[in-house]
Amino acid sequence: MREPELGEGRTRPELDQSSPDGTFMQVVTAAVAGLAILIAAAAAVVTVVIGPTAAYRWLASPSRPAAPVAGAVVAKLQPPPPRPSPVPRQPADIPRMTPRVVGGGTGFVVSHEGHVVTAWHVVSRCDVVTVDSERASVLFRATHADLAVLKLIDRRQVEDVARLSAEGAALGEPVMAVGYPLPSQLGGGLNVTMGNVSSLAGFKGEQTDLQFSARVLPGNSGGPILDERGHLIGVVHSVLSVSANAGFGLKGKVLERYLRSAGVPFETAASSEAAPGPVRVSERAARFTKRIACWATR
């Protein structure tokens, strides 16, 4: 007679738990149960840290990264936005610095063609120079003498000019210093001070300079030193101290030599002319004495 097959009323005999086969199956069952517990615990930790939706995506991903460490802060990293292609900047797009005044002083006109004398240190660091708001260029400079000659760019004719004294300075004679010192403190108007020629030599005996007692302040540099007839005998360039009333200037006769060498036209006047008085001299000086502004554009 044929033995019945499995499912035909015959059941598989149970394994003896005390047999070797029974012990092996018990170990395997315990290992599988422990692994399931570990997986469930890991899933619970991930759900707590990154949220249920992200945990589902992480667990379902076939190439998921290592699970985050419990208790760590998980930053939400967003992909960086696409960087636009750089566009070459056009000259009009380049920012330009607003011009600003960084210094200044005084000057005076010596020719009807628009040549203006000043001190070199007044304009040495300028990007742009203006003479009473008119653009000017540096035509000539003598740095060792602190002298510069400017040329008005757009002016074709100037009516009033300073005239150089034919005789030059004399020791003890009355002088007038004219200029635009400390415009922000003194109002910006023309300033006139009186004094005398104190010495026919400058600082430490410099023979190209003279010393005078008319008080000068910052901003007087480059201004004219006039005798009592209003003729030019020097160019202000420095002072021993603001309170000492000891100013120094380039002699008018030395200026005359520089102007000749640079081909700059000028006029001279003889001392035989009568002195018109300080008021008239001041009025005339106001017409040829100019405010120099030094501008920075970068």
- Is the pLDDT at 138 greater than 90? The verdict is yes
Q: What is the per-residue pLDDT across 1-56, written as a single tens digit (0 to 9) for each?
A: 444 443 444 444 444 444 555 555 665 566 666 666 766 666 555 455 445 555 44
- Spatial separation of the C-alpha atoms in residues 256 and 162, rounded to whole Å: 12
Encode 150-171: b = buried (16+ Cβ within 10 Å), e = exposed: bbbeebeebeebbbbbebbbee
Grouping H, G, I as helix, E, B as strand and the rest as coil, residue 177 is strand
Higher pLDDT among residues 133 and 162, named by residue: 162
Catalytic site residue 146?
yes
Active-site pick, 165, 198, 213, 221:
221
C-alpha pair distances (Å), 263 with each of 159, 255, 257: 20, 12, 10
Catalytic site residue 121?
yes
Higher pLDDT among residues 90 and 286, named by residue: 286
- Is the pLDDT at 82 greater than 90? The verdict is no
The pLDDT assigned to 114 comes to 95
Average pLDDT over the chain, rounded to whole? 79
Active-site pick, 112, 121, 132, 199:
121
Mean pLDDT of 222-239: 97
Percentage of the chain lying above the pLDDT 70 cut: 67
Q: What is the per-residue pLDDT across 154-206, written as a single tens digit (0 to 9) for each?
A: 877 899 999 999 999 999 999 999 999 988 788 788 999 999 999 999 999 99
Higher pLDDT among residues 262 and 184, named by residue: 262
Active-site pick, 111, 115, 146, 209:
146
